[in-house]
Amino acid sequence: MSTLLTCSRCGAPVDRESRFCRSCGNQVSAERGPLPTGPAPTTPIESGLLPRLRSVTLGEYEIYGELGRGGMATVFLAHDIGLDRKVAIKVVAPSVLEAGSGMGERFKREARTAGALSHPHIIPIHAVREVGQIVYLVMKYVDGPTLDAIIRQHGPLPIAMVQTILVQVASALGYAHKRGIVHRDIKPANIMVDEEGSAVVTDFGIAKVANARSLTMTGATIGTPAYMSPEQCAATEVTGASDQYSLGIVAYEMLTGRTPFQSDSVGDLMMQHFNDAPRAIGEMRPDCPSGLAGPILRMLAKEPTGRWPTMEAAVAAIGARVPEAHDPVRTELMTLARTATIRITRAPTPGSPVPPVRPAIPPRPKTPFGKGALWGGAAVGVVLTLAVGAYFARRTRPPEPPPAELPAQSAAHVIAALEIADAPGALNPGDHAQLTASARNASGARVGSATVIWSSSDRSVAVVSDDGTLTALAPGSTTLTATSGGASANVDIIVREPAVAILEVKPRTANLALHRTVQLVAVAKDARGSPLAGQRLEWSSSNPAAVTVSRTGLATAIAAGTATVTAAHDDVRSAPVTVTVPPRAPSRPGILQMLIVPAWAYVFIDGVARGQRTRGLDTLAARVTHRLRFERDGFETIDTTVTLRPGEQRLITIQIKRRSP
């Protein structure tokens, strides 16, 4: 008997110091002492669940044994006798029904909620029943492992496989969100991979219908702590953005093999959801392209408004697509579904009991009867005989043989390596190139007709179509990955900054008066003639004594003359722009008359002494501001200015004052 603790709900190993299961969130306690490993313990009430289920499904379902147990219900593997198929029967635990009123109604609401959903990646519900104290639903049996089991067995998954699972689960959740249904407990244990290589979502057991408020528990924290959104931790209203957050954690775990937040304390784990930023995916998974890691980290935004507006928007950002039937990634998922170690507790239990034989009925006295009654009795006898024979034939028939394994591929067709040919080293935005990926087997021979999946680490820089056509979009670098049959190859692509091939400047000519300006505008274009924004240009003037030009292309006339102005970017120069500054026409001077009171003072005009005056008549240039100064001993000095128009005559009186003693 092992001394390791195991979760009573899912059977996963639990550290002795842990207070809850990291896999399913079930609360455990290290103070209980060692527990035996193996099937989860049952209470006396739960131990009698199997025979009670057999009794209420007698003749309709043959119960094989237990598949698993959760917080509210136990799931059994059964055989649908009427339709001859395997099914899973989920039975609500009697202890849950007895714990409070309305739990049975809540379980049936789950069935109605999930039963209303019809989507290829949601497990369908066949029936819901309530017989006596047994409430159960019948659903499709998925013969495959949970995503949780796959991650625990294989660790981080291939990039293409992560994208495939994400697009399938996200499409299912987006479908439910459009119908007002939020799952509220997305985690790897609730995602299964079926025998067709498809991921399917199960357990809408705590799903909430948006308009069914009468059955909503206010302030209830529902979910698995490691995968709960911040709004779930706060027990506030949740929307489809909460499922997106949980799916982001699932994606993080698929890529890195661990959840972004981990702690043995539920409270500490919730605080991490509220406050801590997840560690960068690239640090633990260097081969993860930024075009995948970035959108996943946005799914983990603390505020719902910071996440993608819809699941469809998240899928579009990830760049994933639904795989076709013969897609190599889907083939790998089918292989995982067959080879993964699935934790199932199938108790060796007998089939449904044979109905008890009723005591013989004493013969009734003979009474007259007609031919109709005779034939009716005979018909009933035949039907009973056939029914009993069919029942015992089914009971004694040999067990169904296991499904035939798919034929193994020959070594010559198994892809061992990929080579990318014809990859350009650098491209310009808008350029196209055709990429070719050659698949080879272990011996180095080429494998024909291999399906190749292309991806780009930064789809804003360059993208690759399904046929290998590369399109450069914007400057930067990206890593292109080709994947086929489990093999992959990478090539780095650089998209250069667009080169300037043409510079056009407008206007082509300009006539400027002295001290006037004109704004020259330059447009840079590439070889295709497409405008290029944000290019740094150098401006120059052939005659800076007459025309100057600033770094922004502003030309200013400072003297009469002609200049050619050009713009340049590296070795590319624009056509010259001719700027002409005509000479200014001479203007008539003005005449200034002065009268000084009291009589006489020394006069200075523009710093030049004009002698001692009482009156004066001076001819001065027009449109020029002239400085006047008047000085006399014992009097205050007067400074003033005057500007004359052409031909103007002006008289000014200058009154000087004595200085104070």
Instruction: Establish if 39 belongs to a structural domain.
Output: no
Highest mean pLDDT among 17-26, 135-144, 330-339, 645-654: 645-654
Q: Looking at per-residue confidence, does 652 or 380 come out higher?
A: 652
Nearest residue to 246 via CA among 300, 207, 195, 208: 300
- Name the residue with tokens 């796959």: 150
What integer pLDDT is reported at residue 531 of this predicted model?
83
Q: Looking at per-residue confidence, does 134 or 207 come out higher?
A: 134
Q: How many domains does the chain have?
A: 6
State what percent of residues in the chain have pLDDT above 70.
74
- The pTM of this model reads 0.48
Q: Looking at per-residue confidence, does 510 or 197 come out higher?
A: 510
Average pLDDT over residues 411-437: 79
Residue 484 identity (one-letter amino acid):
S
Contact 465, 454 (CB under 8 A): yes
3-state DSSP of 377-399 = HHHHHHHHHHHHHHHHHHHHCCC
- 52 plus 200 within the same structural domain: no
Average pLDDT over residues 635-650: 93
Pick the catalytic residue from 80, 185, 194, 203: 185
Instruction: Establish if 602 belongs to a structural domain.
Output: yes
- 201 plus 314 within the same structural domain: yes
- 100 plus 230 within the same structural domain: no
Per-residue pLDDT at 317 exceeds 70: yes
What integer pLDDT is reported at residue 445 of this predicted model?
79
Per-residue pLDDT at 631 exceeds 90: yes
Average pLDDT over residues 601-616: 92
What integer pLDDT is reported at residue 142 of this predicted model?
87
Residue 445 identity (one-letter amino acid):
A
What integer pLDDT is reported at residue 340 of this predicted model?
56
Instruction: Establish if 68 belongs to a structural domain.
Output: yes
Per-residue pLDDT at 20 exceeds 60: no
Instruction: Establish if 394 belongs to a structural domain.
Output: no
Q: Looking at per-residue confidence, does 179 or 251 come out higher?
A: 251
Q: For residue 229, how many other CB atoms are within 10 A of its CB?
A: 27
What integer pLDDT is reported at residue 103 of this predicted model?
65
Instruction: Establish if 380 belongs to a structural domain.
Output: no
Average pLDDT over residues 181-193: 90
Residues forming beta bridges with residue 266, ordered by sequence position: none
What integer pLDDT is reported at residue 99 of this predicted model?
56
Residue span of the structural domain in which 4 resides: 1-34
Per-residue pLDDT at 358 exceeds 50: no
Average pLDDT over residues 590-598: 92
Strands 547-549 vs 199-201: parallel, antiparallel or unpaired: unpaired
Please give the structure tokens belonging to residue 590.
């003005």
Which of 318, 339, 360 terminates a domain? The answer is 339
- 206 plus 95 within the same structural domain: no
Highest mean pLDDT among 381-390, 411-420, 442-451, 577-586: 577-586
Cα dist. 588→550, 616, 626, 627 in Å? 35, 20, 16, 19
pLDDT digits (tens, 9 = 90+) for 541-576: 999 999 999 988 999 999 999 999 999 998 899 999
- 80 plus 191 within the same structural domain: no
Average pLDDT over residues 58-72: 82
Which of 140, 167, 192 terminates a domain? The answer is 140
Cα dist. 631→444, 541, 641, 655, 659 in Å? 108, 48, 15, 11, 12
Query: Could you please report the per-residue DSSP string of 532-543?
Result: E-S---EEEES-
- 151 plus 245 within the same structural domain: yes
Cα dist. 264→4, 21, 268, 300 in Å? 16, 9, 8, 21
State what percent of residues in the chain have pLDDT above 90.
28
What integer pLDDT is reported at residue 492 of this predicted model?
87
**Which stretch of 103-107, 409-413, 507-511, 525-529 has the lowest confidence by average pLDDT?**
409-413
- 324 plus 446 within the same structural domain: no
What integer pLDDT is reported at residue 463 of this predicted model?
86
Which of 140, 158, 190 terminates a domain? The answer is 140
Highest mean pLDDT among 35-44, 104-113, 335-344, 494-503: 494-503
pLDDT digits (tens, 9 = 90+) for 219-264: 344 568 899 999 988 878 889 999 999 999 999 999 999 999 988 7
> Could you tell me the CATH number of the domain that includes residue 509?
2.60.40.10
What integer pLDDT is reported at residue 449 of this predicted model?
66
Residues 6+ away with beta carbon under 8 Å from 99: none
- 454 plus 598 within the same structural domain: no
Instruction: Establish if 374 belongs to a structural domain.
Output: no
Instruction: Establish if 345 belongs to a structural domain.
Output: no
Per-residue pLDDT at 539 exceeds 90: yes
- 250 plus 118 within the same structural domain: no
- 133 plus 56 within the same structural domain: yes
Examine the residue annotation and report whether 185 is marked as an active-site residue of this protein. yes
Per-residue pLDDT at 17 exceeds 70: no
Instruction: Establish if 496 belongs to a structural domain.
Output: no
- 334 plus 246 within the same structural domain: yes
Q: How confident is the model at residue 495 (pLDDT cuts 50, 70, 90)?
A: confident
pLDDT digits (tens, 9 = 90+) for 191-214: 999 888 889 998 775 555 444 433
> Could you tell me the CATH number of the domain that includes residue 599?
2.60.40
What integer pLDDT is reported at residue 205 of this predicted model?
53
Average per-residue pLDDT for the chain: 77
Highest mean pLDDT among 67-76, 231-240, 386-395, 529-538: 231-240
- 478 plus 507 within the same structural domain: no
Per-residue pLDDT at 312 exceeds 70: yes
Q: Looking at per-residue confidence, does 423 or 603 come out higher?
A: 603
Q: Looking at per-residue confidence, does 454 or 447 come out higher?
A: 454
Q: How confident is the model at residue 483 (pLDDT cuts 50, 70, 90)?
A: confident
What integer pLDDT is reported at residue 15 of this predicted model?
56
